[in-house]
Amino acid sequence: MRITCPICGERDRREFYYKGAAVALERPDPEAGDGVWNDYLHLRENPAGVTRELWYHETGCSAWLVVTRNTVSHEILDAVLASEARA
């Protein structure tokens, strides 16, 4: 599995740290209540197929990426900077 970092180009999977579903970018209001926070922290779509995830280019440029990836084939479909994906 190789990921194309928008800054560094195509790199080995070992340069990246996997954080989890990109839902982590959608941090709720601190007072949103335990249901919303449970959803954010713990509950997952967990799709067998295409999913959006947060990866960190740990031994490269240190950028956080939103990677679109297929969990069945391991195909990497897209990788963009998390800072741009949020906007």
User: Which spans of this chain sit near other proteins (rule: CB under 8 A)?
Assistant: 1, 12-14, 18-21, 34-35, 38-39, 41-48, 51, 53, 69, 71-74
User: Closest distance between other proteins and the C-beta of residue 60, in Å?
Assistant: 15
Task: For other proteins, give the closer residue by CB, 51 or 79.
Answer: 51
CB 20 within 8 A of CB 69: no
**Can you tell me the distance from the alpha carbon of 41 to that of 44, in angstroms, rounded to the nearest whole number?**
9
Task: For other proteins, give the closer residue by CB, 8 or 43.
Answer: 43
Beta-bridge partner residues of 18 = 55
**Can you tell me the distance from the alpha carbon of 43 to that of 3, in angstroms, rounded to the nearest whole number?**
26
Beta-bridge partner residues of 53 = 21, 67
User: Closest distance between other proteins and the C-beta of residue 74, in Å?
Assistant: 6
User: Closest distance between other proteins and the C-beta of residue 47, in Å?
Assistant: 8
Terminal C-alpha separation, the chain: 27
Task: For other proteins, give the closer residue by CB, 21 or 80.
Answer: 21
